[in-house]
Amino acid sequence: MFHFLSKTLSFLFSPLSWVFILLIIVFFLKTKKWKKRLIYTSVVVLYLFSNNYIFYLAASKWYIKPVKLETHQQFKYAIVLGGMANFDEEVKRIKFSESADRLMQAIHLYKTNHIEKILISGGSGSIFYPEMIESEIVRTYLIQIGIPECDILIENKSKNTWQNASFTAKLLDNNKNYLLISSSIHMRRATACFKKAGIKTQPYPSNQLDSSFKYSPGSLLLPNASILSSWELLIHEIAGYFIYWIKGYV
């Protein structure tokens, strides 16, 4: 039920949805005074949540900053959390999302001998295609690019971050330390879940949402449509952490 609600109600995390809802309300209002107020409110919300600098300030307070491993640092496993790929049935090949950097980082760490094996954690995140298991799709891809199957372990039942942690805990030795790879904006919730599940991890954040920010008059003043989707991810993460805290997952 929790997984279903998080998928179906995800539009509530979008500032663009808020603006759309406000404008719909304006359409039905009869009082000119309130119509004008809601229109002004819509414009202000749209501007604030499309401003690059405002998003940068908010995101920098939340995300876990990327780290650089020392040459001598080695780990038995890198745990890579799902949410980065699915399978395109039309062209019969893997299709990556904007979170694919977490997998690319794991491959690089494997090739540079910082990790011995890669553990992919993720079942089906789709309501309509439960048979599409992400970790199995990614395993096939890794084998195709030359990584030995014996160096790949998968957890294929989880549907959310808490299940990533609890199901992965059953596959690993709790007395060892592992590298945990996920998006920088998701890492706060991920590390808290793995700690709660009894797994020691060192965070290795990937794909910063604010990495492209550069100070300029445009970034400080002008709206940027792409920032709206970044806000949606950030709000989703903050809400998700709060809900996990209530449920005792973190």
Q: What domains sit in the chain, N to C, each tagged with a CATH number?
A: 2-63+217-247 (no CATH), 75-206 (3.40.50.620)
Alpha helices in the chain (DSSP H): 2-8, 15-28, 32-48, 52-62, 101-111, 134-144, 161-169, 187-196, 217-221, 226-247
Over residues 106-151, the pLDDT tens digits come to 999 999 999 999 999 999 866 666 778 999 999 999 999 999 999 9
C-alpha 119/C-alpha 108 separation (Å) is 14
Contact yes or no for 159/128 (Cβ under 8 A): no
Helix (H, G, I), strand (E, B) or coil at 221: helix
Dump pLDDT digits (tens) for 28-48.
Answer: 998 999 999 999 999 999 999
Q: Is the pLDDT of residue 3 over 70?
A: no
Would you tell me the crossing angle of helices 226-247 and 52-62 to the nearest 10 degrees? 30
Residue length of the chain: 250
Q: What's this model's pTM, rounded to 2 decimal places?
A: 0.88
